[in-house]
A and B are shown apart, each in its own frame.
Chain A
Amino acid sequence: MTNRNTQQLLRLLPIKISFLLFCVVSLLFVLPARAQEMPEGRFKTGEHELGDTVVSYMKKLTLKNVDTIIRLNLSFNHLVDRFGKDPIQVANTSYLFFVRNDSSFFVKYRWQEDFDGMTSDSFSVPEYIENDTLSRWLSKNIEGVNNWLVPFIYKEISNSLPKFKIWNPLEYRTYWIEWYYAGTRAHTYFATHWFEKTNLHNWANINYTHNTSTKFFQLFMQLELICIDMEAKRRRL
């Protein structure tokens, strides 16, 4: 019986060996192919992180005697058309404003992803802000820009009891803002509907007076105007 089993094993041995060899050889083919696939994914190896680029750019600015920098970051996914090509998806836009020798400058940073999953980012050349009131305003007020903003809250009465609810629209843009001034850094985040007096349902924002009386709001209005101007100028070019 044992002899017969041994004979059977010996007969099957070449098949088993060839199967094992097949497995090893196919692994040798598959593994390098997968290793090559990895960098082709969403994030290429050696690619820098989004925040790092802007932060290192801002550090470089501080070395060039720039003492006031504001970064307004907008996280808002949207598609941008490109002539003759597929549109690209812009996931993040940062606007940098800095003051040097009493003049203000504007830089736009964009982080985007195309339909092949390749990500890239770019900075615009610093542009001089004409008819600038920002640098003068900042020199007087930047120390006061530290007020915290509060969300859109409305009050409702239900069964004679007050209810305080936070309201957010279905779609809204969230901004992240940070500013460097004389070696200090501050930051906050906010959404533009926090500055609205009422919403579409006519619910009154009880934080409207607080939010719009802050120096922060005055700063944001100026920055927004500059952004609109600069973007319009870009389109004319």
Chain B
Amino acid sequence: MKHYIQTILQRPFLKAVMLTVTAFLTITIGNAQSPSQPDMPDSIRCGPYLWNWRSYPINGLGKLDLTSFSYVFVKTGNKITTRKEITYIGNDCGELFEAASEWLTISNDTLFDWLSRQLPTIRHEKLLDLIVQEVYQGDTSYRAIRSSHPTTCVLAYYQKGSVTVKTIEEDAIQPLFRELGKNLNYAYNTSTPLYKFYIMLKQRIEFLDNQYVFKPVKH
């Protein structure tokens, strides 16, 4: 055995093969041994909101050219911890960087309890398109409209290893669409638990947005 090992170590090619095989086995076994994280706490990811290269002030980092940002809410015991994650463009305008804020704690929040109760309903819900009525010279028509740069928010709720993903088109929850008129699906869309979930998150985000603090990052 010793002889074999010595032979392998003496020959660079065999040494390289051995190292590759060992690395491959380590990665494969390592992956196989980490199951789908059954103890992962319930969490919500809201975003990414795409922010097209606009300058935006970030606590602790100054003004940055953000490309996207999202918010994470994690249930830890009776508390909720939250942080903001951003992607921005470096000074040389070429590279993208990621940063996450410090965790904030919210106590006495019923968001996750409410969500787990409403989940069976929310799972099957879908908001309807923005539809407007148009009357022109006595002729009535109904058309589905999408703005040229629609804002879409992706909500992902991780619960007991499963994930529920919902998309909210902000066009669909506007009462009016510019000069074209009323959104006929506004009443229905805003009566759904999915919309309530979105509003609950939005209220928390608006309240906390100035409190997320980022540590300076060295590139």
Interface residues of A (CB under 8 A from B): 150-151, 153, 158-159, 161-166, 206-207, 209-211, 213
Chain A, Cβ-Cβ closest to B10: A5
Contact B187 A206 (CB under 8 A): no
Is B131 part of the contact surface with A, judged by Cβ < 8 Å? yes
Q: Contact partner of B184 among A158, A164, A166, A210, CB < 8 A?
A: A164
A151 to B144, CA, bound (A): 8
If A161-B191, A163-B188 touch, does A150 touch B142 (CB 8 Å cutoff)? yes
Contact B187 A162 (CB under 8 A): yes
A164 to B182, CA, bound (A): 13
Contact A159 B128 (CB under 8 A): no
Contact B185 A207 (CB under 8 A): no
List, in ascending order, chain A residues with CB within 8 A of B187's CB: 161-162
* A-B pairs with lowest CB-CB distance, top 4: A210-B141, A164-B131, A161-B188, A150-B143
Is B140 part of the contact surface with A, judged by Cβ < 8 Å? yes
Q: How far is the CB of A176 from chain B (nearest CB, A)?
A: 19
List, in ascending order, chain B residues with CB within 8 A of A166's CB: 129, 131, 144
Total B residues in contact with A, Cβ cutoff 8 Å: 14
A159 to B141, CA, bound (A): 25
If A163-B185, A207-B141, A210-B140 touch, does A153 touch B131 (CB 8 Å cutoff)? yes
A206 to B133, CA, bound (A): 10
Chain A, Cβ-Cβ closest to B143: A150
For this complex, 9 residue pairs linking A to B, each with C-beta atoms less than 8 Å apart, are A150-B141, A153-B144, A158-B188, A162-B184, A164-B142, A166-B129, A166-B131, A209-B139, A213-B139
Can you list, as one digit per residue, whether each of B128-139 has a CB less than 8 Å from chain A (1) or not (0)? Answer: 110100000001
A165 to B129, CA, bound (A): 7
Contact B128 A165 (CB under 8 A): yes
Can you list, as one digit per residue, whether each of B166-196 has a CB less than 8 Å from chain A (1) or not (0)? Answer: 0000000000000000001101100100000
Number of A-B contacts (CB under 8 A): 41
**Which B122-169 residues sit within 8 Å CB-CB of chain A?**
128-129, 131, 139-144
Q: How far is the CB of B125 from chain A (nearest CB, A)?
A: 12
Contact B142 A153 (CB under 8 A): yes
Q: How far is the CB of A43 from chain B (nearest CB, A)?
A: 33
Chain A, Cβ-Cβ closest to B184: A164
Contact B139 A164 (CB under 8 A): no
A79 to B147, CA, bound (A): 38
Chain A, Cβ-Cβ closest to B190: A161
Q: How far is the CB of A127 from chain B (nearest CB, A)?
A: 36
A211 to B129, CA, bound (A): 20
Chain A, Cβ-Cβ closest to B142: A153
Chain B, Cβ-Cβ closest to A163: B188
Q: How far is the CB of B53 from chain A (nearest CB, A)?
A: 33
Q: How far is the CB of A26 from chain B (nearest CB, A)?
A: 21
List, in ascending order, chain A residues with CB within 8 A of B142's CB: 150, 153, 164, 206-207
List, in ascending order, chain B residues with CB within 8 A of A206's CB: 142
Contact B131 A162 (CB under 8 A): no
A207 to B139, CA, bound (A): 10
List, in ascending order, chain A residues with CB within 8 A of B144's CB: 151, 153, 166
Chain B, Cβ-Cβ closest to A214: B139
Q: Contact partner of B139 among A151, A162, A163, A210, CB < 8 A?
A: A210
Chain A, Cβ-Cβ closest to B138: A213
A153 to B130, CA, bound (A): 12
